Amino acid sequence: MNPGSIIKLMNARNKFQNNHPKFVAFLNRCFAGGLREGTVIEITVTNPGEQPITSNIKVQQSDLELLSELKDISK
């Protein structure tokens, strides 16, 4: 990954953190104990005027590896 892309990604991350501090705190709390294989993550999206849509994933080892790589990149 080139340095320009990393800077752009970091700026977007900082903006997201500033726009959604409670959500970032929630994610930090969830990840603080360390996600384990088999953990279920569920998300619901509700667009204005529409019914909510919910989906979930069961965390796999490959997901944990991806998250670890992303964490290393953001340091």
Task: Give the pLDDT confidence score for residue 22 in this predicted structure.
Answer: 96
Task: Give the pLDDT confidence score for residue 74 in this predicted structure.
Answer: 63
Task: Give the pLDDT confidence score for residue 41 in this predicted structure.
Answer: 93
Task: Give the pLDDT confidence score for residue 1 in this predicted structure.
Answer: 66
* Residue 8 CB neighbour total at 10 angstroms: 11
Estimate to the nearest angstrom the gap between the alpha carbon of 3 and the chain centroid. 22
Domain ranges of the chain: 1-33, 36-75
Task: Give the pLDDT confidence score for residue 40 in this predicted structure.
Answer: 95
* Exposed e or buried b per residue across 11-49, where buried means at least 16 C-beta atoms within 10 angstroms of its C-beta: eeeeeeeeeeeeeeeeeeeeeeeeeeeeeeeeeeeeeee
- 46 three-class SS: coil
pLDDT by 10-residue block (mean), the chain, 75 residues:
83 94 90 88 96 97 88 71
